[in-house]
Amino acid sequence: MTTRFKNDSLWIETDTGNRISRKATICAPVNIVLSGNVIIKADVIIRGDLKRAGPSPSIAMNIGKYTILDEACVVRPAYKTYKGTFSYYPMKIGDYTSIGAHSVLEAAAVGSYVDIGRGCVVGRFVVIKDCARLTPGSVVPPNTVIPPYALFSGCPATQIDTLPESTLDNVQQATTSAYNDFKMT
Amino acid sequence: MASVSVLYQSKLRSALDKGEFYPLSHLYFCEECDAIRCPRTIILDAVMHYCPNCLFEVPTASVKSQRNRCMRNCSSCPLCQSSLSTVGTGTSIDDPNISLDKLTEAESSRADPPFLLSCGCCGWNSRCFGERGVFDKPTGIGALIARGDEKEGRANEEFEHVRSKFESLLSVDGFVDDVAFHPLYPAHATPDTSDRQLESLAETEFDKLNILRNATDLHDIHNSSNSYPSSIYKHLQTPQRIKLVTKYSKRCATCRHILIKPDTKSHTKHKIKMTANNYLPAINARIARMALQPTGSRLTSNGELRGGRVYVFEMHTVNPLYDAMKIRMKVVHQSGCKARIDEGEYEIGAFNDVMEFEEEAWVQSQARRISEAKSVGLVESKGNWTNSMFELGVYQDAKRLEVSFGKEKVYADEKV
CA neighbor of A150 nearest in space, from A123, A174, A114, A117: A114
> Is residue B157, in this structure, part of any structural domain at all?
no
Q: Which CATH superfamily is domain A3-181 in?
A: Hexapeptide repeat proteins (2.160.10.10)
Nearest to A166 among B25, B81, B82 (CB): B25
pLDDT 10s digits, B57-66: 888 888 888 8
Nearest to B93 among A83, A130, A165 (CB): A83
B245 CB neighbours in chain A (<8 A) are 147
Q: How many helices (H) and strands (E) would you count in chain A?
A: 1, 24
Nearest to B80 among A82, A123, A156 (CB): A156
The DSSP 8-state label assigned to residue B162 in this structure reads H
The alpha carbon of residue B98 and the mean position of all alpha carbons in its chain are separated, in whole angstroms, by 44
> Is residue B148, in this structure, part of any structural domain at all?
no
User: Domain coordinates of chain A in residue numbers?
Assistant: 3-181
pLDDT 10s digits, B355-380: 555 555 555 555 555 555 566 777 77
**pLDDT at residue A32 tops 80:** yes
State the DSSP H helix or E strand holding residue B362, giving kind and residue range, or none if neither: helix B360-366
Tell me what the mean pLDDT of segment A176-181 comes to. 91
CA neighbor of B312 nearest in space, from B375, B371, B379: B375
CA angle B151, B153, B155 (to 5 degrees): 120
pLDDT 10s digits, A52-62: 877 777 888 99
CA angle A123, A127, A132 (to 5 degrees): 105
- Note which residues in 84-143 of chain B have CB less than 8 A from chain A: 85, 93, 95, 98, 106-112, 119-122
The alpha carbon of residue A35 and the mean position of all alpha carbons in its chain are separated, in whole angstroms, by 12
**pLDDT at residue B320 tops 50:** yes
A80 CB neighbours in chain B (<8 A) are 106-109
The predicted pLDDT at position B389 comes to 81
Nearest CA in chain A to B39: A164
User: Which residues are bridge partners to A161 per DSSP?
Assistant: A151
Q: How many helices (H) and strands (E) would you count in chain B?
A: 8, 23
**Domain containing residue B341: CATH number:** 2.60.40.10
Sorted by sequence, the CB contacts under 8 Å of residue B390 that are 6+ apart come out as B312, B313, B315, B339, B340, B341, B342, B376
| Counted domains in chain B | 1
A83 CB neighbours in chain B (<8 A) are 93, 109-112
Integer angstrom CA distances of residue A55 from A52, A58, A148, B167: 9, 9, 36, 62
- Measured CA to CA, the distance from residue B14 to residue B287 in angstroms comes to 35
Provide, for chain B, the percentages of residues in helix, strand and coil under a 3-state DSSP scheme, each rounded to the nearest 5. 25, 30, 45
Which residue of A158, A159, A165 is the best one to mutate when testing the B interface, meaning the one whose CB has the most B CBs within 10 A? A165
pLDDT-based confidence at residue A126 (cuts at 50, 70, 90) = very high
> Is residue B24, in this structure, part of any structural domain at all?
no
Cβ-based interface (< 8 Å): residues of A facing B: 78-84, 111-113, 123-125, 129-131, 141-145, 147-150, 156, 158-159, 164-170
State which residues form the domain around B404: 280-415
Do residues A108 and A128 touch, judged by C-beta distance below 8 A?
A: no
> Is residue B210, in this structure, part of any structural domain at all?
no
- Measured CA to CA, the distance from residue B102 to residue B109 in angstroms comes to 9
Q: Does B260 touch chain A (CB under 8 A)?
A: yes
- Measured CA to CA, the distance from residue B114 to residue B92 in angstroms comes to 11
pLDDT 10s digits, B185-242: 444 434 444 444 444 545 556 666 666 666 665 555 554 444 444 444 444 467 888 8
CA neighbor of A24 nearest in space, from A99, A87, A127: A99
- Note which residues in 384-403 of chain B have CB less than 8 A from chain A: none
Beta strands in B319-408 (DSSP E): 325-335, 337-340, 345-348, 368-369, 377-382, 385-394, 402-408
- Measured CA to CA, the distance from residue B40 to residue B182 in angstroms comes to 7
pLDDT 10s digits, B226-285: 444 444 444 446 788 888 988 999 998 888 899 999 988 888 888 888 888 888 888 887
Q: Does B378 touch chain A (CB under 8 A)?
A: no
**pLDDT at residue A151 tops 60:** yes
